[in-house]
Amino acid sequence: MSVITILDSFDKEVLEQSYEKNGFNHSYLLRKKDDIIELTKRLKEEEYFLETITAVDKKEKIRLIYIFNKMQKVHRVAVYLDIDYSEDVPSLIDFFKSADWFESEVYDFFGVKFTGNPNLKRLLTPEGMEGYPLLKSWKAEED
Amino acid sequence: MDTEKHVLKDFYVNMGPQHPSTHGVLRIVLKVDGEKVMSSETVLGYAHRGVEKMAESKTYIQMMPVMDRFDYVSSMLFEWAYVGCMEKALGITPPERAEYIRVIMAELNRIASHLLWAGAFLLDLGAFTPFLWLFDARERIMDMFEEVTGQRMTNNYFKIGGVADDLTPEFFKMLDEFLNMIRKRMADTETLIESIIFLERVKDIGFISKEDVINYSLTGPVARGSGVNYDLRKNEPYSIYTRFDFEIPLGEKGDCYDRYKVRMREVIQSVRIIEQAVSAIPEGPFAEKAPKIVKLPEGEYYFAVETSRGLLGVYLVSDGSANPYRFKLRDPAFSNLSILDTMLPGNKISDVVAILGSIDVVIPEIDR
């Protein structure tokens, strides 16, 4: 089953990105955040693996990016989720164990909480760190 | 006598952040029962420098030398991922000669990284001589880098549209000498290494199943040691890798020994690629004209290469200005290390060194 057929049943917006131009074979913006669970389940059945999870601060919202890929032949699928700053997102830890650290990293830098991940912690920043440094509102201290 | 009072419960051993076998500042909290590890927790972040935030206030060019400072033992492969990502965005294709130079340098860097790994791994396990033999070979690569780039490490050699300087005749002479000695050196070292003492330390410990490779997003020699055939040079060919004839060494069982074997055999495959590249390298310019001030068109760009540790992806978001809006590294060692806490329980403390060593982590790359 191709990824297009899988994504047929989801409420989404197709983004115009191509492998030659952006490095993603397919890009989709999911309109409902809970769909990510069902989608991940379907993609895992089709032998995709989770390449990474990251986020971008779009100034009014946070955009999460889930990158899936196939090992046999490259087929990189970027799935986007737009969320508010204080919004929680379901965790993918039931499907991919690597999501544990990926999600912790996003939590560490953006403050996004992933519900269902029991190990969510500040992974890289030092102890006693306040704020979430990759938010555009966070400013580094002057020397 | 009440014996229960004398039973030591919950005994913890802190391995690192300053421990010779963690090769950098990695801390592993081991909960032990005698010599046996009951559970472990990996603590990261001791070398965190906030590079992703820093990138947002630097120009694209200013980030070039920083790329060397993640994985300092295979720095040019990191440069390639970043440069490749920007070239994709700008629509620049490097000239033929530059592509060949990149392949030669990248594969030399891969060999250097594997040699350093093997030497240090064996040193951790108590074998001193292979370290010297392998470092002698690695030293020749460092000399070649110095000849061409002016630096032994942190080379800052790749540029948008090509490389910083042409290869010199002296370099080819040194490369020739190196290629003549390396196969024999690898064969000699392997006979030296593979004694019963070494095999007892690495065989049948630290298993990684094929399912876990997918589950933990493992890539590179760690995945291939478990028999998963995944190498971006074959599965997602970038640059000119389709032109070369080489194999992807695979392990069978996925233990520490298989991962060791895969890396040693990969060295020979890299040598094959270099030999083919040297005989086919065309004359011509070594770099395309590139803009002095780099501004990527608005949008998102992702480019991945195979480093000596696995899949490295650079993700850039541009808003059209001279600074990246978002800079993200998807680095291989980060995911590869995430399986450690699952692997350690049930092993002896001395095996922790072997298992951690076989994963091959470079901490600045993980902590960023």
Confidence of residue A142 (pLDDT cuts 50, 70, 90): low
Rounded to whole angstroms, what are the CA distances from B359 to B114, B147, B207?
12, 32, 11
Q: What mean pLDDT value characterizes chain B? A: 88
Amino acid residing at B351 = D
Inter-residue contact A30 to A36 (CB < 8 Å):
yes
Of the two residues A91 and B10, the one the predictor is more confident about is: A91
- Give the mean pLDDT of B47-54: 87
Whether the CB of A19 is below 8 Å from some CB of chain B: the reply is no
- The CATH number of the domain holding residue B282 is 1.10.645.10
Inter-residue contact A54 to A103 (CB < 8 Å):
no
Could you tell me the strand order of the sheet in which A26-30 lies?
Answer: A12-14, A26-30, A77-83, A62-70, A48-57
ipTM of the complex: 0.89
pLDDT reported for residue B6: 61
pLDDT reported for residue B22: 67
- Give the mean pLDDT of B254-264: 90
A3-87 fold: Beta Polymerase; domain 2 (3.30.460)
List the single best residue of A124, A132, A138 to mutate versus B (max B Cβ within 10 A): A124
**Nearest CA to B30 among B358, B335, B260, B356?**
B356
Helix axes B75-90, B96-124, angle to 10 degrees: 150
Inter-residue contact B158 to B76 (CB < 8 Å):
yes
Chain B residues 70-99 with a CB less than 8 Å from chain A = 85, 88
Of the segments A26-35, B41-50, B309-318, which one has the largest average pLDDT value? B309-318
Among A51, A109, A124, whose Cβ lies nearest the Cβ of B330?
A51
Please check the confidence at residue B312 and state whether its pLDDT lies above 80: yes
| Interval A88-132: pLDDT, tens | 899 989 889 999 999 999 998 998 999 888 888 888 888 888 888
Please check the confidence at residue B111 and state whether its pLDDT lies above 90: yes
- Residue A37's Cα: distance from chain center in Å? 11
Strands (E) in B240-353, as ranges, are 299-307, 310-318, 326-330
How many whole angstroms separate alpha carbon B109 and alpha carbon B321? 33
- With contacts defined as CB-CB under 8 Å, which chain A residues touch B315? 52, 54, 65
- With contacts defined as CB-CB under 8 Å, which chain B residues touch A96? 214-217
Distance in Å, alpha carbon of A22 to nearest chain B alpha carbon: 4
Q: Where are the domains of chain A?
A: 3-87
Longest dimension (CA), chain B: 86
| Interval B175-232: pLDDT, tens | 999 998 998 888 888 888 888 888 888 888 888 998 899 999 999 999 999 989 998 8
Q: Which domain holds residue B31?
A: 3-367
List the single best residue of B228, B236, B341 to mutate versus A (max A Cβ within 10 A): B236
pLDDT reported for residue B107: 92
- Residue B326's Cα: distance from chain center in Å? 24
pLDDT reported for residue B122: 87
Please check the confidence at residue B61 and state whether its pLDDT lies above 70: yes
Rounded to whole angstroms, what are the CA distances from A36 to A11, B5, B124, B180, B287?
11, 51, 43, 54, 44
pLDDT reported for residue B277: 92
Of the two residues B204 and A8, the one the predictor is more confident about is: B204
Of the two residues B7 and B132, the one the predictor is more confident about is: B132
Token pair 């291939």: residue: B224
pLDDT reported for residue B101: 92
Q: By CB neighbour count within 10 A (0-12 exposed, 13-18 middle, 19+ buried), where does B84 fall?
A: buried
**Nearest CA to B216 among A16, A24, A51?**
A51
- Give the mean pLDDT of A14-23: 78
Please check the confidence at residue A19 and state whether its pLDDT lies above 80: no
Please check the confidence at residue B358 and state whether its pLDDT lies above 70: yes
Confidence of residue A52 (pLDDT cuts 50, 70, 90): very high
Longest dimension (CA), chain A: 55
Rounded to whole angstroms, what are the CA distances from B358 to A38, B35, B236, B250, B320?
35, 20, 25, 15, 42
How many whole angstroms separate alpha carbon B93 and alpha carbon B98? 10
**Nearest CA to B147 among B183, B119, B178?**
B178
pLDDT reported for residue A72: 83
Contact: B342, A97; criterion CB under 8 Å: yes
For B1-5, B6-10, B170-174, B296-300, which range has the lowest pLDDT when averaged over its residues?
A: B1-5
- With contacts defined as CB-CB under 8 Å, which chain A residues touch B367? 124
Percentage above 70 pLDDT, chain B: 97
Inter-residue contact A12 to A36 (CB < 8 Å):
no
- Give the mean pLDDT of B305-315: 91
pLDDT reported for residue B7: 61
Structural domains in chain B (count): 1
Contact: B52, A134; criterion CB under 8 Å: yes
Task: Indicate the helix (H) or strand (E) that contains B29.
Answer: strand B27-33
Q: What mean pLDDT value characterizes chain A? A: 85
Confidence of residue B144 (pLDDT cuts 50, 70, 90): very high
pLDDT reported for residue B5: 59
List the single best residue of A15, A16, A22 to mutate versus B (max B Cβ within 10 A): A22
